[in-house]
Homo-oligomer: A and B are copies of this chain.
Amino acid sequence: MIALVVLEEFGGTKKHFKTGDLIFKEGNQPLYYHQIISGEVKMNNFNDEGKEFIQGIFYKDQCFGEPPLFTDQVYPANAVAVTDCEIITITKDKFLELLKNNPDISLKVIKNLSQRLYYKSVMAAEISSQDPEHRVLRLIDYSIEQFHFKKENAGFLINFTRQQIADLTGLRVETVIRAIKSLEKKGDLKIINRKVYR
């Protein structure tokens, strides 16, 4: 998102997180802008029964958790390191100052928020009113577009576990496994030694 040199100019601080570490917690006050230097981060919620819902997965050069910086709300979800991560942060004040002085970065932020809102809109409609196979397939197609899934001979390799797909679509892992099997039978995707290709 924002060039590292610029973030360093504005007092950027680098932090390391291990797999599974909590980066910030639902309900807390947001104090920093976060951007990934390396590694993978997910944002999630848990419902009353402890079932996880993944809001999104973020990769190198992406930022996350900035909307509540602008609305003075608390974090609506947790951020968790999916792999070992290096994250650069700048304070809220510095971030707002940075935006004020850089209209081109403001526009980048607007584009990024718009993209994420677009994803949420599409998935909201899917989750609320489509059958499991439809939901899984749309998530896969969206993710190919959005994230940089590798194109191989068999097609795009969907780099998610069945459990992750379940947590992103609000389904159960058994339901996802069955949906993927059924989609394979219909020829909508391929399963090659347990990995999903589209």
Q: A residues within 8 Å of B by Cβ?
A: 45, 47-49, 51, 53, 55, 66-71, 73, 76-77, 99-100, 103, 106-107, 109-111, 113-118, 120-125, 127-130, 134, 169-170
Contact = CB atoms under 8 A, between A and B. Distances in A.
Tell me the dominant secondary structure on chain A's binding face. helix
Contact of A110 (B113, B118, B127): B113
Contact of A117 (B67, B99, B170): B67
Task: Kindly list the 5 A-B residue pairs having the minimum CB-CB distance in the complex, ordered from nearest.
Answer: A128-B170, A67-B114, A120-B120, A70-B114, A113-B113
A118 B70 CA distance: 11
A179 to B, nearest CB: 15
Contacts of A120: 117, 120-121, 124
A53 B128 contact: yes
14 contacts: A45-B125, A47-B130, A66-B114, A69-B114, A70-B110, A71-B118, A76-B125, A100-B103, A100-B107, A106-B110, A117-B120, A124-B127, A127-B170, A128-B169
A118 B47 contact: no
A125 B54 CA distance: 8
Given A69-B114, A103-B106, A116-B117, 7 more contacts: A53-B129, A70-B115, A73-B118, A99-B110, A106-B106, A113-B114, A117-B120
